[in-house]
Protein backbone atom coordinates (compact mmCIF):
# COMPACT_ATOMS: atom_id res chain seq x y z
CA UNK A 1 0.00 0.00 0.00
CA UNK A 2 1.22 3.46 -0.83
CA UNK A 3 1.61 5.25 2.47
CA UNK A 4 1.66 8.73 1.00
CA UNK A 5 -1.18 10.78 -0.41
CA UNK A 6 0.37 13.59 -2.40
CA UNK A 7 -1.85 16.58 -1.95
CA UNK A 8 -2.17 18.67 -5.06
CA UNK A 9 -3.70 21.33 -2.95
CA UNK A 10 -1.13 24.05 -3.43
CA UNK A 11 -2.30 24.90 -6.93
CA UNK A 12 -5.93 24.86 -5.89
CA UNK A 13 -5.43 27.22 -2.99
CA UNK A 14 -3.37 29.65 -5.01
CA UNK A 15 -6.24 29.69 -7.46
CA UNK A 16 -8.72 30.66 -4.79
CA UNK A 17 -7.07 34.02 -4.32
CA UNK A 18 -7.71 35.17 -7.87
CA UNK A 19 -11.39 34.52 -8.35
CA UNK A 20 -13.31 37.28 -10.04
CA UNK A 21 -14.64 38.11 -6.61
CA UNK A 22 -12.29 36.80 -3.96
CA UNK A 23 -14.40 37.95 -1.03
CA UNK A 24 -15.44 35.55 1.66
CA UNK A 25 -19.14 35.14 1.21
CA UNK A 26 -20.51 34.46 4.68
CA UNK A 27 -19.98 32.47 7.82
CA UNK A 28 -20.25 28.70 7.96
CA UNK A 29 -23.39 26.70 7.36
CA UNK A 30 -25.08 25.01 10.28
CA UNK A 31 -25.63 21.30 9.70
CA UNK A 32 -28.83 19.76 11.02
CA UNK A 33 -29.30 16.04 10.67
CA UNK A 34 -33.00 15.66 10.12
CA UNK A 35 -32.89 11.92 9.64
CA UNK A 36 -29.93 9.70 10.53
CA UNK A 37 -28.94 6.15 9.85
CA UNK A 38 -30.76 3.79 12.22
CA UNK A 39 -27.42 2.49 13.42
CA UNK A 40 -24.78 5.20 13.05
CA UNK A 41 -21.27 3.78 13.47
CA UNK A 42 -19.56 5.07 16.65
CA UNK A 43 -16.12 6.48 15.92
CA UNK A 44 -13.59 8.48 17.95
CA UNK A 45 -11.56 11.14 16.14
CA UNK A 46 -8.89 12.01 18.68
CA UNK A 47 -7.50 15.59 18.51
CA UNK A 48 -4.27 15.54 16.49
CA UNK A 49 -0.98 16.40 18.16
CA UNK A 50 0.83 19.51 16.89
CA UNK A 51 4.56 18.76 16.91
CA UNK A 52 7.12 21.57 17.27
CA UNK A 53 6.40 24.41 14.85
CA UNK A 54 3.23 22.80 13.43
CA UNK A 55 0.10 24.93 12.99
CA UNK A 56 -2.72 24.71 15.52
CA UNK A 57 -5.33 23.79 12.89
CA UNK A 58 -7.90 21.36 14.33
CA UNK A 59 -7.88 18.58 11.74
CA UNK A 60 -9.82 16.21 13.99
CA UNK A 61 -12.68 18.69 14.36
CA UNK A 62 -13.14 18.86 10.58
CA UNK A 63 -13.00 15.06 10.20
CA UNK A 64 -15.42 14.64 13.10
CA UNK A 65 -17.79 17.19 11.54
CA UNK A 66 -17.59 15.48 8.13
CA UNK A 67 -18.23 11.96 9.41
CA UNK A 68 -20.81 12.93 12.02
CA UNK A 69 -22.54 15.23 9.54
CA UNK A 70 -22.89 12.40 7.03
CA UNK A 71 -25.41 10.76 9.35
CA UNK A 72 -23.64 7.43 8.89
CA UNK A 73 -21.25 7.91 11.81
CA UNK A 74 -21.61 9.05 15.41
CA UNK A 75 -18.52 11.01 16.41
CA UNK A 76 -17.50 10.75 20.05
CA UNK A 77 -17.50 14.01 22.03
CA UNK A 78 -14.06 15.07 23.19
CA UNK A 79 -15.18 15.43 26.77
CA UNK A 80 -15.94 11.71 26.74
CA UNK A 81 -12.37 10.82 25.75
CA UNK A 82 -10.28 9.65 28.69
CA UNK A 83 -7.01 9.56 26.78
CA UNK A 84 -5.56 11.42 23.77
CA UNK A 85 -3.26 9.04 21.87
CA UNK A 86 -1.54 10.33 18.72
CA UNK A 87 -0.14 7.11 17.29
CA UNK A 88 -1.38 3.54 17.15
CA UNK A 89 1.17 2.39 19.74
CA UNK A 90 -0.36 4.80 22.29
CA UNK A 91 -3.92 3.46 21.95
CA UNK A 92 -5.24 1.45 24.93
CA UNK A 93 -7.90 -0.45 23.00
CA UNK A 94 -9.74 -1.79 26.06
CA UNK A 95 -10.48 1.78 27.17
CA UNK A 96 -12.00 2.71 23.79
CA UNK A 97 -13.99 -0.53 23.69
CA UNK A 98 -15.54 0.39 27.03
CA UNK A 99 -16.45 3.80 25.56
CA UNK A 100 -18.32 1.98 22.75
CA UNK A 101 -16.10 3.30 19.97
CA UNK A 102 -15.98 0.85 17.06
CA UNK A 103 -13.22 2.78 15.29
CA UNK A 104 -10.56 5.30 16.30
CA UNK A 105 -8.57 7.84 14.29
CA UNK A 106 -5.33 9.28 15.69
CA UNK A 107 -2.81 11.61 14.10
CA UNK A 108 -0.37 14.48 14.30
CA UNK A 109 0.86 17.55 12.43
CA UNK A 110 4.50 18.43 11.88
CA UNK A 111 6.43 21.05 9.94
CA UNK A 112 9.17 19.43 7.83
CA UNK A 113 10.19 22.74 6.26
CA UNK A 114 9.08 26.38 6.42
CA UNK A 115 5.65 26.71 4.79
CA UNK A 116 5.11 22.94 4.62
CA UNK A 117 2.94 20.75 6.84
CA UNK A 118 2.80 16.97 7.11
CA UNK A 119 -0.38 15.41 8.47
CA UNK A 120 -0.08 11.79 9.67
CA UNK A 121 -3.12 9.76 10.56
CA UNK A 122 -4.09 6.18 11.35
CA UNK A 123 -7.44 4.42 11.48
CA UNK A 124 -7.91 1.39 13.77
CA UNK A 125 -10.68 -1.08 14.33
CA UNK A 126 -11.06 -1.01 18.11
CA UNK A 127 -12.39 -4.55 18.43
CA UNK A 128 -9.78 -6.30 16.27
CA UNK A 129 -7.02 -3.73 17.02
CA UNK A 130 -6.26 -3.91 13.30
CA UNK A 131 -4.73 -0.90 11.57
CA UNK A 132 -6.99 -0.14 8.59
CA UNK A 133 -5.25 3.01 7.32
CA UNK A 134 -1.93 4.77 7.86
CA UNK A 135 -1.08 7.77 5.71
CA UNK A 136 0.93 10.96 5.66
CA UNK A 137 -0.40 13.95 3.69
CA UNK A 138 2.12 16.55 2.52
CA UNK A 139 0.57 19.99 2.20
CA UNK A 140 0.87 23.60 3.37
CA UNK A 141 -1.01 25.71 5.91
CA UNK A 142 -3.69 26.75 3.45
CA UNK A 143 -4.25 23.11 2.47
CA UNK A 144 -5.08 21.77 5.93
CA UNK A 145 -8.84 21.92 5.56
CA UNK A 146 -8.75 19.99 2.31
CA UNK A 147 -6.28 17.53 3.88
CA UNK A 148 -8.81 16.95 6.67
CA UNK A 149 -11.54 16.30 4.06
CA UNK A 150 -9.20 13.83 2.34
CA UNK A 151 -8.80 11.98 5.66
CA UNK A 152 -12.60 11.87 5.95
CA UNK A 153 -12.78 10.45 2.42
CA UNK A 154 -10.25 7.72 3.29
CA UNK A 155 -12.02 6.76 6.52
CA UNK A 156 -15.42 6.76 4.81
CA UNK A 157 -14.11 4.53 2.02
CA UNK A 158 -12.29 2.18 4.37
CA UNK A 159 -15.22 1.53 6.69
CA UNK A 160 -18.22 1.83 4.37
CA UNK A 161 -16.69 0.86 1.03
CA UNK A 162 -18.09 4.06 -0.51
CA UNK A 163 -15.80 6.64 -2.09
CA UNK A 164 -16.09 9.74 0.11
CA UNK A 165 -17.04 13.12 -1.37
CA UNK A 166 -15.89 15.40 1.45
CA UNK A 167 -12.90 16.82 -0.47
CA UNK A 168 -15.12 18.20 -3.24
CA UNK A 169 -16.86 21.47 -3.95
CA UNK A 170 -20.36 22.74 -4.51
CA UNK A 171 -21.65 25.81 -6.30
CA UNK A 172 -24.93 27.55 -5.53
CA UNK A 173 -26.81 30.80 -5.94
CA UNK A 174 -27.16 32.99 -2.84
CA UNK A 175 -29.86 35.68 -2.91
CA UNK A 176 -29.38 38.49 -0.41
CA UNK A 177 -31.57 41.46 0.46
CA UNK A 178 -35.26 42.17 0.24
CA UNK A 179 -37.49 42.39 -2.83
CA UNK A 180 -37.01 44.35 -5.06
CA UNK A 181 -33.43 45.25 -4.10
CA UNK A 182 -31.81 41.87 -4.17
CA UNK A 183 -28.23 40.84 -4.82
CA UNK A 184 -27.52 37.57 -6.56
CA UNK A 185 -24.24 35.78 -5.87
CA UNK A 186 -22.75 32.72 -7.48
CA UNK A 187 -20.81 30.97 -4.72
CA UNK A 188 -18.30 28.10 -4.79
CA UNK A 189 -17.70 26.39 -1.44
CA UNK A 190 -16.30 23.19 0.02
CA UNK A 191 -18.85 20.38 0.08
CA UNK A 192 -19.51 21.11 3.78
CA UNK A 193 -20.32 24.75 2.98
CA UNK A 194 -17.01 26.06 4.35
CA UNK A 195 -14.64 28.32 2.41
CA UNK A 196 -17.41 30.05 0.43
CA UNK A 197 -16.11 32.27 -2.38
CA UNK A 198 -18.29 34.63 -4.41
CA UNK A 199 -17.29 34.09 -8.03
CA UNK A 200 -19.94 36.34 -9.58
CA UNK A 201 -22.29 38.97 -8.19
CA UNK A 202 -25.14 40.83 -9.85
CA UNK A 203 -28.18 42.94 -9.13
CA UNK A 204 -30.07 40.78 -11.64
CA UNK A 205 -30.80 37.05 -11.34
CA UNK A 206 -28.10 34.41 -11.73
CA UNK A 207 -29.21 30.85 -12.25
CA UNK A 208 -28.48 27.29 -13.38
CA UNK A 209 -24.77 26.94 -12.53
CA UNK A 210 -23.21 23.87 -14.17
CA UNK A 211 -19.73 22.46 -13.52
CA UNK A 212 -17.54 21.57 -16.46
CA UNK A 213 -16.52 17.90 -16.33
CA UNK A 214 -12.97 18.85 -15.29
CA UNK A 215 -14.27 21.07 -12.47
CA UNK A 216 -12.36 24.09 -13.72
CA UNK A 217 -15.27 26.11 -15.18
CA UNK A 218 -18.85 27.01 -14.42
CA UNK A 219 -21.50 27.72 -17.02
CA UNK A 220 -24.46 29.77 -15.79
CA UNK A 221 -27.30 32.05 -16.82
CA UNK A 222 -27.02 35.75 -16.00
CA UNK A 223 -29.70 38.42 -16.44
CA UNK A 224 -27.13 41.20 -15.94
CA UNK A 225 -28.29 42.87 -19.18
CA UNK A 226 -31.94 42.42 -18.09
CA UNK A 227 -32.21 39.60 -20.65
CA UNK A 228 -30.79 36.09 -20.13
CA UNK A 229 -27.34 35.16 -21.43
CA UNK A 230 -25.17 32.10 -20.87
CA UNK A 231 -21.61 32.60 -19.65
CA UNK A 232 -18.72 30.23 -19.06
CA UNK A 233 -16.41 31.34 -16.26
CA UNK A 234 -12.98 29.88 -15.54
CA UNK A 235 -12.69 29.66 -11.76
CA UNK A 236 -8.91 29.95 -11.54
CA UNK A 237 -8.59 33.16 -13.55
CA UNK A 238 -12.09 34.56 -13.13
CA UNK A 239 -12.24 35.08 -16.92
CA UNK A 240 -15.76 35.04 -18.33
CA UNK A 241 -16.85 34.15 -21.83
CA UNK A 242 -20.28 34.98 -23.23
CA UNK A 243 -21.37 31.85 -25.11
CA UNK A 244 -25.06 32.44 -25.87
CA UNK A 245 -27.09 35.64 -26.08
CA UNK A 246 -29.62 34.93 -28.82
CA UNK A 247 -32.88 36.88 -28.97
CA UNK A 248 -35.25 35.29 -26.48
CA UNK A 249 -34.44 32.65 -23.91
CA UNK A 250 -30.85 31.48 -23.26
CA UNK A 251 -31.11 28.97 -20.47
CA UNK A 252 -30.21 25.69 -18.83
CA UNK A 253 -26.58 25.07 -19.87
CA UNK A 254 -25.35 21.47 -19.50
CA UNK A 255 -21.86 20.25 -20.35
CA UNK A 256 -21.26 17.26 -22.59
CA UNK A 257 -19.19 14.50 -20.92
CA UNK A 258 -15.98 15.71 -22.59
CA UNK A 259 -16.74 19.39 -21.98
CA UNK A 260 -16.61 20.39 -25.64
CA UNK A 261 -20.32 21.08 -26.09
CA UNK A 262 -23.13 22.67 -24.13
CA UNK A 263 -26.76 21.66 -24.31
CA UNK A 264 -28.77 24.88 -24.00
CA UNK A 265 -32.39 26.00 -24.18
CA UNK A 266 -33.20 28.71 -26.72
CA UNK A 267 -36.46 30.19 -27.94
CA UNK A 268 -37.73 31.65 -31.17
CA UNK A 269 -39.66 34.92 -31.50
CA UNK A 270 -42.91 33.26 -30.50
CA UNK A 271 -41.32 32.08 -27.28
CA UNK A 272 -41.18 28.37 -28.02
CA UNK A 273 -38.40 26.76 -25.97
CA UNK A 274 -36.36 24.00 -27.58
CA UNK A 275 -33.13 22.21 -26.73
CA UNK A 276 -30.03 22.90 -28.82
CA UNK A 277 -26.44 21.73 -28.70
CA UNK A 278 -23.75 24.41 -28.90
CA UNK A 279 -20.24 23.37 -29.92
CA UNK A 280 -17.93 25.53 -27.79
CA UNK A 281 -15.08 25.22 -30.27
CA UNK A 282 -16.85 25.90 -33.58
CA UNK A 283 -19.89 27.78 -32.15
CA UNK A 284 -22.05 25.54 -34.37
CA UNK A 285 -25.61 25.26 -33.11
CA UNK A 286 -27.65 22.08 -33.64
CA UNK A 287 -31.34 21.97 -32.89
CA UNK A 288 -32.30 18.81 -31.01
CA UNK A 289 -36.02 19.15 -30.21
CA UNK A 290 -38.82 20.40 -32.49
CA UNK A 291 -41.96 20.77 -30.47
CA UNK A 292 -44.39 23.59 -29.64
CA UNK A 293 -44.26 22.64 -25.95
CA UNK A 294 -41.63 23.69 -23.41
CA UNK A 295 -38.50 21.61 -24.00
CA UNK A 296 -35.75 22.49 -21.54
CA UNK A 297 -33.16 21.58 -18.85
CA UNK A 298 -31.31 18.95 -20.85
CA UNK A 299 -28.74 16.62 -19.30
CA UNK A 300 -26.23 14.44 -21.13
CA UNK A 301 -26.16 10.68 -20.84
CA UNK A 302 -22.65 9.59 -19.75
CA UNK A 303 -21.88 8.23 -23.25
CA UNK A 304 -22.71 11.63 -24.78
CA UNK A 305 -25.03 10.01 -27.31
CA UNK A 306 -28.35 11.14 -25.89
CA UNK A 307 -29.97 13.86 -23.78
CA UNK A 308 -32.54 13.72 -21.01
CA UNK A 309 -34.80 16.77 -20.85
CA UNK A 310 -38.09 18.12 -19.50
CA UNK A 311 -41.02 18.64 -21.87
CA UNK A 312 -44.69 19.42 -21.40
CA UNK A 313 -45.60 18.12 -24.88
CA UNK A 314 -47.96 15.61 -23.26
CA UNK A 315 -49.57 18.18 -20.95
CA UNK A 316 -47.68 18.66 -17.70
CA UNK A 317 -43.88 18.47 -17.46
CA UNK A 318 -42.39 14.99 -17.88
CA UNK A 319 -38.89 13.71 -18.57
CA UNK A 320 -37.90 12.46 -22.01
CA UNK A 321 -34.76 11.02 -23.58
CA UNK A 322 -33.66 11.75 -27.13
CA UNK A 323 -30.77 10.31 -29.11
CA UNK A 324 -28.51 12.85 -30.80
CA UNK A 325 -28.55 10.79 -33.99
CA UNK A 326 -30.38 12.80 -36.66
CA UNK A 327 -34.10 12.11 -36.95
CA UNK A 328 -34.39 10.51 -33.52
CA UNK A 329 -37.69 10.76 -31.70
CA UNK A 330 -37.82 11.62 -28.00
CA UNK A 331 -38.95 8.81 -25.73
CA UNK A 332 -40.87 9.61 -22.56
CA UNK A 333 -39.36 7.98 -19.47
CA UNK A 334 -41.44 9.25 -16.50
CA UNK A 335 -45.06 8.20 -16.20
CA UNK A 336 -45.84 8.34 -12.49
CA UNK A 337 -47.39 11.63 -11.38
CA UNK A 338 -48.37 14.79 -13.25
CA UNK A 339 -45.17 16.80 -12.70
CA UNK A 340 -41.64 15.47 -13.19
CA UNK A 341 -38.87 17.93 -14.09
CA UNK A 342 -35.21 18.94 -13.80
CA UNK A 343 -33.55 15.58 -14.51
CA UNK A 344 -30.04 15.04 -13.15
CA UNK A 345 -28.08 11.86 -13.83
CA UNK A 346 -26.15 9.87 -11.25
CA UNK A 347 -22.40 9.78 -12.03
CA UNK A 348 -22.64 6.19 -13.35
CA UNK A 349 -25.74 6.98 -15.39
CA UNK A 350 -27.81 4.31 -13.65
CA UNK A 351 -30.30 6.65 -11.95
CA UNK A 352 -32.08 9.90 -12.65
CA UNK A 353 -32.92 12.37 -9.87
CA UNK A 354 -35.66 14.93 -10.52
CA UNK A 355 -38.38 17.09 -8.99
CA UNK A 356 -41.76 15.45 -8.66
CA UNK A 357 -45.07 16.77 -7.36
CA UNK A 358 -46.80 14.64 -4.75
CA UNK A 359 -50.26 15.92 -3.77
CA UNK A 360 -49.20 19.52 -4.27
CA UNK A 361 -45.78 19.12 -2.61
CA UNK A 362 -42.57 19.30 -4.64
CA UNK A 363 -40.09 16.57 -3.72
CA UNK A 364 -36.94 14.85 -4.97
CA UNK A 365 -37.39 11.45 -6.58
CA UNK A 366 -35.12 9.01 -8.37
CA UNK A 367 -35.77 6.66 -11.25
CA UNK A 368 -33.83 3.43 -11.76
CA UNK A 369 -32.83 3.58 -15.43
CA UNK A 370 -31.05 0.25 -15.60
CA UNK A 371 -32.96 -2.06 -13.29
CA UNK A 372 -36.66 -2.33 -12.67
CA UNK A 373 -37.40 1.25 -13.71
CA UNK A 374 -38.89 1.96 -10.29
CA UNK A 375 -39.45 5.49 -9.00
CA UNK A 376 -38.60 6.35 -5.40
CA UNK A 377 -39.56 9.61 -3.68
CA UNK A 378 -36.62 10.40 -1.37
CA UNK A 379 -37.60 13.61 0.41
CA UNK A 380 -40.56 14.79 2.47
CA UNK A 381 -40.62 18.56 1.98
CA UNK A 382 -43.05 20.78 0.10
CA UNK A 383 -40.51 22.96 -1.75
CA UNK A 384 -37.71 20.55 -2.65
CA UNK A 385 -36.03 21.37 -5.96
CA UNK A 386 -32.77 21.39 -7.95
CA UNK A 387 -31.30 17.96 -7.15
CA UNK A 388 -27.62 17.30 -7.89
CA UNK A 389 -25.69 14.07 -7.30
CA UNK A 390 -22.47 13.93 -5.28
CA UNK A 391 -19.61 12.65 -7.45
CA UNK A 392 -19.68 9.37 -5.49
CA UNK A 393 -23.35 8.89 -6.31
CA UNK A 394 -24.17 8.24 -2.64
CA UNK A 395 -25.87 11.55 -1.87
CA UNK A 396 -28.05 14.16 -3.55
CA UNK A 397 -27.83 17.82 -2.63
CA UNK A 398 -30.95 19.92 -3.28
CA UNK A 399 -32.62 23.19 -2.37
CA UNK A 400 -35.60 23.48 -0.08
CA UNK A 401 -37.33 25.99 2.22
CA UNK A 402 -37.02 26.16 5.98
CA UNK A 403 -39.23 28.73 7.74
CA UNK A 404 -39.59 30.65 4.52
CA UNK A 405 -35.88 30.70 3.71
CA UNK A 406 -34.05 28.94 0.93
CA UNK A 407 -31.63 26.37 2.40
CA UNK A 408 -29.57 23.45 1.13
CA UNK A 409 -30.35 19.88 2.05
CA UNK A 410 -28.76 16.49 1.49
CA UNK A 411 -30.31 13.08 1.21
CA UNK A 412 -28.54 9.76 0.80
CA UNK A 413 -29.63 7.98 -2.34
CA UNK A 414 -31.17 5.23 -0.21
CA UNK A 415 -33.26 7.95 1.46
CA UNK A 416 -32.11 6.91 4.95
CA UNK A 417 -29.93 9.92 5.82
CA UNK A 418 -31.12 13.50 5.52
CA UNK A 419 -29.50 16.73 6.61
CA UNK A 420 -30.06 20.44 6.14
CA UNK A 421 -27.37 23.08 5.63
CA UNK A 422 -28.67 26.41 6.88
CA UNK A 423 -26.82 29.49 5.69
CA UNK A 424 -26.58 32.32 8.21
CA UNK A 425 -28.11 34.76 5.73
CA UNK A 426 -30.00 34.96 2.48
CA UNK A 427 -31.75 32.36 0.37
CA UNK A 428 -29.62 29.54 -1.00
CA UNK A 429 -30.74 28.10 -4.33
CA UNK A 430 -29.69 25.67 -7.05
CA UNK A 431 -26.83 23.74 -5.46
CA UNK A 432 -24.66 21.80 -7.88
CA UNK A 433 -22.06 19.33 -6.75
CA UNK A 434 -18.74 19.58 -8.55
CA UNK A 435 -16.77 16.60 -9.85
CA UNK A 436 -13.70 15.22 -8.09
CA UNK A 437 -10.88 17.71 -8.53
CA UNK A 438 -13.14 20.75 -8.92
CA UNK A 439 -11.59 24.13 -8.30
Partner 1 sequence: MKRLTAITLLLTGALALAGCHGKTAVKGQSASATEVPASATTGGAGGAGTTMTPLNGANGGSLQAVAQAGNAVPREQRTIYFDFDKSEINPQYEPIIAAHAKTLIANPGLRIRLEGNTDDRGSREYNIGLGERRAQAVRRALMLQGVADSQIETVSYGAERPAVEGDNPQAWAMNRRVDMVYLP
The contact set with partner 1 (CB under 8 A) reads 178-180, 205, 207-208, 223, 226-228, 248-249, 251-252, 265, 267, 269-271, 273, 294, 296-297, 310, 312, 316-317, 339, 341-342, 355, 357, 362, 382-383, 385-386, 401, 404, 429-430
Smallest gap, in angstroms, from Cβ of residue 311 to partner 1?
9
- Nearest-Å Rg of the Cα atoms of the chain is 23
Q: Give the closest residue to 356 by CA, choosing from 395, 394, 383.
A: 383
Question: Which is nearer to partner 1, 314 or 414 (by Cβ)?
Answer: 314
Minimum CB separation of residue 184 from partner 1 in Å reads 8
For 222, how many CA atoms within 13 A lie in the half-sphere containing its CB?
Answer: 23
Burial of 424 (0-12, 13-18, 19+ CB in 10 A): exposed
Kindly tell me which of 294 and 396 has the beta carbon lying closer to partner 1: 294
Cα separation, 192 vs 30, in Å, equals 9
Q: Which residue's CB is nearer to partner 1, number 383 or number 436?
A: 383
Kindly state the smallest distance separating residue 170's Cβ from partner 1, in Å: 17
Residue of 409, 437, 412 whose CA lies nearest to 423: 409
d(C-alpha 129, C-alpha 166), whole Å: 26
Q: Which is nearer to partner 1, 356 or 413 (CB)?
A: 356
Q: Per-residue DSSP letters for 362-407? A: EEEEEEESSSS--EEE----SB-EEEEE-TTSSEEEEEEEETTEEE
Query: Of 263 and 394, which CB lies nearer to partner 1 in the complex structure?
Result: 263
Minimum separation from the CB atom of position 290 to partner 1 (A): 16
Q: How far is the CB of 294 from partner 1 (least distance, A)?
A: 3
What's the min distance (Å) between Cβ of 373 and partner 1?
Answer: 22
User: Phi and psi (nearest 5°) for 269?
Assistant: -60, -30
Backbone phi and psi for residue 249, each to the nearest 5 degrees, phi listed first: -75, 135
Q: State the nearest-atom distance from the C-beta of 156 to partner 1, in Å.
A: 31
Cβ proximity to partner 1: between 236 and 357 the closer is 357
CA distance 243 to 46: 50
Residue 45 burial by Cβ neighbours in a 10 Å radius (0-12, 13-18, 19+):
buried
Q: How far is the CB of 296 from partner 1 (least distance, A)?
A: 5
DSSP 101: -
Beta bridge partners of 237: none
CB of 63 to partner 1, least distance (A): 35
User: Which helix (H) or strand (E) covers residue 146, if one does?
Assistant: helix 144-160
Question: Which of residues 196 and 228 has its CB atom nearest to partner 1 in the complex?
Answer: 228
Q: What is the 8-class DSSP label of residue 144?
A: H
Nearer to partner 1, 100 or 225 (CB): 225
**CB-neighbour burial class of residue 20 (10 A; exposed 0-12, middle 13-18, buried 19+):** middle
Least gap, CB of 262 to partner 1 (angstroms): 14
Question: What span, in angstroms and rounded, lies between the C-alpha atoms of 266 and 256?
Answer: 17
| 253 three-class SS | strand
> What 3-state DSSP class applies to 9?
helix
- The distance of closest approach from Cβ of residue 3 to partner 1 in the complex, given in angstroms and rounded to an integer, is 46
Nearer to partner 1, 339 or 436 (CB): 339
| Among 339, 341, 299, residue whose Cα is nearest residue 322 | 299
Q: How far is CA 170 from the centre of its chain?
A: 4
Q: Which is nearer to partner 1, 310 or 438 (CB)?
A: 310
Handedness of CA 31, 32, 33, 34 (dihedral sign): negative
Q: Which is nearer to partner 1, 143 or 406 (CB)?
A: 406
Amino acid sequence: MNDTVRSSLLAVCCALGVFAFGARAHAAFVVQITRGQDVAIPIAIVPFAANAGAPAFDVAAVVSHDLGGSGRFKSMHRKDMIDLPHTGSQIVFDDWRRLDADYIVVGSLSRPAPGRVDVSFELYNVLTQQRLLGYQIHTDDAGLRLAAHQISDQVFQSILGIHGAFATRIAYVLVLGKIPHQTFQLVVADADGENPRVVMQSGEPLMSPAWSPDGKQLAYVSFEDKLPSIYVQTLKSGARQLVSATAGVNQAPAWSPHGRRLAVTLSNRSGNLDVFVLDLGTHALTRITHNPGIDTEAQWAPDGDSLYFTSDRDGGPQIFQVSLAPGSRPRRITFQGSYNARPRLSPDGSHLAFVTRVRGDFRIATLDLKGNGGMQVLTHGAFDESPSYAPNGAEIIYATHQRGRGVLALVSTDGRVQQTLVSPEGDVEEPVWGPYGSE
